[in-house]
Amino acid sequence: MDKSDLHSAAAARVEPYTDSVYPAGDVIIEGSEKAETGPEADPHPEEGLQDQTDYTAAQKEVADRAHEIIMTNLERHITIAEFARILHASPTQIKVCFQKVYGQPIYSYARSQRMEAASRLLTETDESVLEIAGKFGYENGSKFARAFRTVIGLSPSEYRRRVLWERENQTFGSSSDWSQKSYD
């Protein structure tokens, strides 16, 4: 391989997004790479994506990068200013792109993802509701409970009781007596 082959191979290589390229502060961007967008370039299409004709490849790239940041930082609340700094895009551009691609506002989506992850911990661990709330950036248990109820439809304690009762009784969908059992 001569010098020109090495140069063209290096130029064709996918460049990773790093903190030196996109300073992220405390925000984690794991294994991120610039990549082609479009259906053929996405090996794991996300559920909930809007019809491809509703947004451009550039909008999908911005939204997908924001999605990746959300999913690798569920323990923190990331501001739109942080997204803008990391993604080198305006706050409005990020909000519009995310809404077009994922069909909901970026903050609603992030909260839903945190609550879904919290719901798994509630039923898979013996950690207290307050400990789980702290893992998702909530220092105040009542704010966590309010967000959880908004997304899941039950308080964290009610959710834990119901799911564990249903597992114990293998009666998914039946609501009789689940609220009387204590799993806290």
pLDDT digits (tens, 9 = 90+) for 119-156: 999 999 999 999 999 999 999 999 999 999 999 999 99
The full set of domain ranges for the chain reads 20-29+46-103, 112-180
Residue 164 · residue 172 · CB < 8 Å: no
Selection from 90, 77, 84 nearest residue 139 by Cα: 77
Provide the terminal-to-terminal Cα distance of the chain, rounded to the nearest Å: 65
User: Which class does domain 112-180 fall in?
Assistant: mainly alpha
**Given this model, what pLDDT does residue 22 score?**
38
> For residue range 79-103, what is the model confidence (pLDDT) as tens digits?
999 999 999 999 999 999 999 999 9
Q: Would you call 14 helix, strand, or coil by DSSP?
A: coil
> For residue range 10-66, what is the model confidence (pLDDT) as tens digits?
332 223 333 333 344 444 444 443 333 344 444 444 555 555 568 999 999 999 999
- Whole-angstrom CA distances from 17 to 106, 162, 172 are 21, 42, 44
Q: What pTM was estimated for this model as a whole?
A: 0.66
Residue 59 · residue 97 · CB < 8 Å: yes
